[in-house]
Structure 1
């Protein structure tokens, strides 16, 4: 007998994780867009700082990544989180930074190559197209790599080394 969950159960789990990922991402989106626009309209406007839109996007996305890590670790993938928090968080941030690169590339290309420099164009490029492409990329890698089934039960080297050893009683 196989211990694998029934196919219908797997689809339910996937759908549930996808919905929770979307809700967590929605909170991260509000943080990202809110901070981006606040910075883009004030201290990091193109009139004040040539690279302002890209720097504002870096800052806003970094804050959203922290919000998303907390939400995904403790809610979306709570059954999959690992005991090795440092490694899990480093992997999560690596995937998030790659996803951020997708959004930044969309914003950079639109703003500096195509010349669409309005606030609306920057938001469409960075906060619609870039976030949608980045979100798809992140969901797949979070689910398969960071919080993957084979990784959730991984043990640290210390745990493996001490397995099977019984404490000595003096």
Structure 2
């Protein structure tokens, strides 16, 4: 990454980050609501429910990003959704890795420790990875409406 990527105009960076965060919050709400419905009333197993809710949330996040902060950007390659999905899978792996290291490696096995490592630390690191991956591998820097280039 070049130094120039971090010297962007603050308003453009704020708009991009705000749009990305809004898309992420919407996707998170879809993930949580669908997972809860699939586990509860639909009585699906936890892995099936989570897989389906993750896929739906990725689709919502992609659409929200494509129609929001990256609406003027050109998607990279022939399969931008596949790249977006891969970036989100990498983010999910980061969350699981944080939880695994904390729970099994460090022996922090309480529910609070699991929540902090997976849902706070892991989510924070995964969000940084998702933001960078989305703007680097999914949507081209050229054509972003007033946003900084990286």
TM-score of Structure 1 vs Structure 2, range by shorter chain: 0.5 to 0.7
- Match for residue 80 of structure 1 among 54, 73, 85: 73
Please give the secondary structure, in 2, of the residue aligned with 1:77: coil
| 1:122 alignment counterpart | 114
Kindly indicate whether residue 22 of structure 2 is the aligned counterpart of residue 23 of structure 1: yes
- With the length of structure 2 as denominator, give the TM-score of the two structures: 0.68
Q: Which has the larger radius of gyration?
A: 1
Query: Structure 1 residues 32 and 72, CA, compared in 2 at 3 Å: closer, same or farther?
Result: same
Query: Structure 1 residues 71 and 110, CA, compared in 2 at 3 Å: closer, same or farther?
Result: same
| 1:89 alignment counterpart | 81
Kindly indicate whether residue 102 of structure 2 is the aligned counterpart of residue 110 of structure 1: yes
Unaligned runs of 5+ in 1: 1-6, 45-51, 153-170
Q: Contact 1:107/1:125 (CA < 8 Å) preserved in 2? A: yes
Q: Contact 1:31/1:63 (CA < 8 Å) preserved in 2? A: yes
Please give the secondary structure, in 2, of the residue aligned with 1:79: coil
Unaligned runs of 5+ in 2: 1-6, 145-150
Q: Contact 2:73/2:142 (CA < 8 Å) preserved in 1? A: no
Q: Contact 1:142/1:148 (CA < 8 Å) preserved in 2? A: no
For 1:29 and 1:144, the matched residues in 2 are separated by 22
